[in-house]
Structure 1
Amino acid sequence: MPKATLEQWRMFKAVVDAGGFNQASTLVHKSQSSVHHAVNKLEEALGVALFDNDGRRIKLTEEGKLLLSRATWLLEEAKKLESVAHGLQHGVESQLRIAVDLIFPANILHKVLDTVSSKYPYLRIELIESVLSGANALLNSGQVDLAICPFPHPDGFTEELCGINFVAVASPGHVLIQQGKALTTKDLKTHRQIVIRDSSAERKTDSGWLGAEQRWTVSHISTSVEMIKSGFGFAWLPEKLIEKHLSEGSLVKLPLKQGSHRHASLYLCFEDGEQLGPAAREFIGTLRYELMQLQDTQKQTLDA
């Protein structure tokens, strides 16, 4: 059994944080004698002195400095444990399963997940990255609680989240770029197109212009990017995801006469809102907020 109690560690940290016993008593709403007693009992239990008193102010001993970091961690873990217990009492789910299409902005997603995890530290999040109808298929089969996908959900809830712009790109050395002329879809037909495979089991959905006579199909956008940079073909890719490659010049937009940009919408989908727990609702609320912030920033940039 531990010789020291959690309350004694709390009193010890309060003295450090407040800068003295008298100030600590105000901080923890206890008498100064109670704080003194708790710290003295802690020192007796541990067999080490935690503070030096030079008459004017208290100062941590070397042992006290070492134990303070451990005590801070211990108190934080106790706080998290209580948060979990509170969540279980109020029906917080233990796991949140989310399917997200690969074209959704990763920086927004990661920020939202971090916010949700901070509020629900013991929530297990399972993130499944999908392509085209993959997220919808996972939602339909009950394998995920929420889906961010390119297609509306016909039976449950659907909310349009954002739009994604696609551009046709190739490497600077590709023959389509080297021709030095404005291109038509007829020009593209005789060149290899790199496309992303639908991640649903049926693989029944294609997206974008697919008129090329040659086609390589891959499972991930990063694979497509590497192939295109190496000159193996062209592809329609989300403009935001390849900004760095475009600015570096390793990818170049195809000079199409018409339709140089394509647009796709992404939707938030789920089956039944009444069955969603607090963590899922927190995810949805934070997601909406972050996307609204992004839209405001983009608008300010355009207006400047």
Structure 2
Amino acid sequence: MRLKTTLEQWLTLSEIDKAGSIQAAAVALNKSHTTLIYAVRKLEEQLGVTLLKVEKRRAILTDDGKSLLRRAQTMLEQAKVLEEISNQLVQGVESELTIAIDHLCNRNWLYAPMALFFEQNHSTSVQVIETSLSKTQQMVTAESADISIITLPITNHPSEAFGVVSMLPVVAKNHPLATKNQPCLADLSSSRQIVVRDLGRQDKQDVGWLKSNQRITVDNFDHAVQAMLQGLGYCRLPQHVIKNIPSNSAVVLQVEHAQQYQVPLHITLPKGAKSGPAAKYLYQLLLESVNTRR
């Protein structure tokens, strides 16, 4: 199918509408007044529709012109994005990034900077993989991720501080531990514990106090919260996760000598100097976001 009109014609009409006059649009497009008039008249001739009228020296779109331009704007925006993508591909921008994020990390710390990243990048897709314990380390050492949010720095992989997460013991409002003013570790050992498993394939790690006689092991904190709210046991949760739990449904325990501990988070580029421009740009945005959280 051969089209009657061109993108250039619709862009001319859009600029005239934006500028409010043919002369102003000519300046914006660096073209002559006569060239723009000819382009619009040609477009009207091709479509058989009057697009523009002049009122008090102002160029105003007719109702038909407004209707058609409204639909053409999507086409113009898509053409602009195509050119941006082409430029990014020429510059070697990656088509996809893999981001490994430790399950302790507040997800907002990742997704808020990512929104800024996508404002400038229309060609790179992002795959987010949640990790924990040994899998966090494996993703870095195997260079399986372009960016990794980790707990402790990993040997031979430079990293930057990214934040600190406080871990607190929590139970449902109806759990027996909720009635104790200051439960001790002996009380916890006789209660069921909900823990998040190490997602690594080998050399699995255990972290924290794990002396309860009975456990429920789940894949992530989403499951842990659900199990906890059902009264199935107590669980240590990140403070940012606890803030999203209705205050009337759970209780933070004041455990004797073990009320809370803190886990530092770091960010690293597992591929180092081999990292592409998109990975480096998003990494920089993530680092800059640390200052806005302080």
Report the TM-score range of the alignment, normalised by the length of the smaller protein. Answer: over 0.9
* TM-score, reference length from structure 2: 0.94
Describe the superposition over 1:212-241 as per-residue Cα deviations: whole angstroms up to 9, x where unpaired.
111110012111111111111001000111
Give the letter for the 1:270 counterpart.
L
Question: Gaps spanning 5+ residues in structure 1: where?
Answer: 296-304
Which one-letter code corresponds to 2:291 in the other structure? M
State the partner residue of 2:44.
43
Question: Is 2:271 the partner of 1:272?
Answer: yes
Residue of structure 2 in register with 1:218 after alignment: 218
Identity level (%): 31
| Match runs of 1:143-222 below 5 Å | 143-178=144-179, 180-202=180-202, 204-222=204-222
Please name the residue that 1:300 is paired with.
none
Give, in whole Å, the separation in 2 of the partners of 1:157 and 1:48: 63
Q: Decide whether the 8 Å contact of 1:136 with 1:151 is kept in 2.
A: no
Equivalents in 2 of 1:130, 1:64: separation in Å?
A: 54
Cα distance in 2 for partners of 1:236, 1:176 equals 14
Map 1:1-304 → 2, pairs under 5 A: 1-178=2-179, 180-202=180-202, 204-245=204-245, 248-295=247-294
Q: How many residues align?
A: 293
Distance 2:95 2:131 in 1: 23
Q: For the aligned residues, what is the CA RMSD?
A: 1.7
Residue 294 of structure 1: how far off its partner (Å):
0.5
Contact 2:133/2:204, CA 8 A, preserved across alignment: no
Q: In structure 2, what is the Cα distance between the partners aligned to 1:136 and 1:162? A: 18
| Structure 1 Cα separation of the partners of residues 203 and 190 of structure 2 | 25
AA aligned opposite 2:221: I
Q: TM-score, normalised by structure 1?
A: 0.91
> How far off its partner does 1:3 sit?
1.9
Which range moved further: 183-192 or 134-143? Answer: 134-143
Moved >4 Å (runs of 4+): none
- Post-superposition offset of 1:257: 2.1
User: Hey, what's the Cα distance between the residues in 1 that align with 2:203 and 2:249?
Assistant: 31
